[in-house]
Amino acid sequence: MASSRGGLTIADRVIEKTASQILKGLPGVGGTKSGLFGFVSNADLDSRPSVDVRLSGRSCTLEVQLGLTYPSPIAEATESVRRRLSTDVEALTGVSVRQVDVAVKWLRPQPSGFGNSVRNLQ
């Protein structure tokens, strides 16, 4: 009876939202908040980072634009983002992640009392 079952299609937008929500939960990682009519944008640790998805069958490539708190080890932070997205997106959507390209668009000083949690992105 397996031949009578339907298929499952995951839309690009679902993967984008899933990935950006995963990133929003990481300490020291933020996105860009649009201002009035989208003309002005502000670095915002409470905003979701931007994620673009290129889907090909059951695998995808992610292009991420995000910001980080400063000072933070940028190479370690971006590698942690890559690992986390690869693991969590596949676990939540069933779509394997072939590649994650990360562009750090801004750095923002750590809020007071933030501590060293940026280094613990894993």
Domain membership of residue 71 (yes or no) is yes
* Residue 36 maps to a domain: no
**Residue 22 placed within a domain:** yes
Q: Could you please report the per-residue DSSP string of 15-75?
A: HHHHHHHHHHTSTTEEEEEE-GGGS-EEEETTSPPEEEEEEETTEEEEEEEEEEEES--HH
Domain with 76, as residue range(s), is: 12-31+46-108
Give tens-digit pLDDT for 38-74.
565 677 788 899 999 999 989 999 999 999 998 889 9
Q: Is residue 66 part of a domain?
A: yes
**How confident is the model over 11-45, as pLDDT tens digits?**
889 999 999 999 998 999 999 876 666 565 677 78
pTM of the model: 0.78
Q: Is residue 54 a part of any domain in this protein?
A: yes
Residue 38 lies in a domain: no
CATH number at residue 81: 3.30.70.1350
Q: How many domains in the chain? A: 1
Residue 50 covered by a domain: yes
Q: Is residue 5 part of a domain?
A: no
**How buried is residue 121: exposed, middle or buried, by Cβ count under 10 Å (0-12/13-18/19+)?**
buried
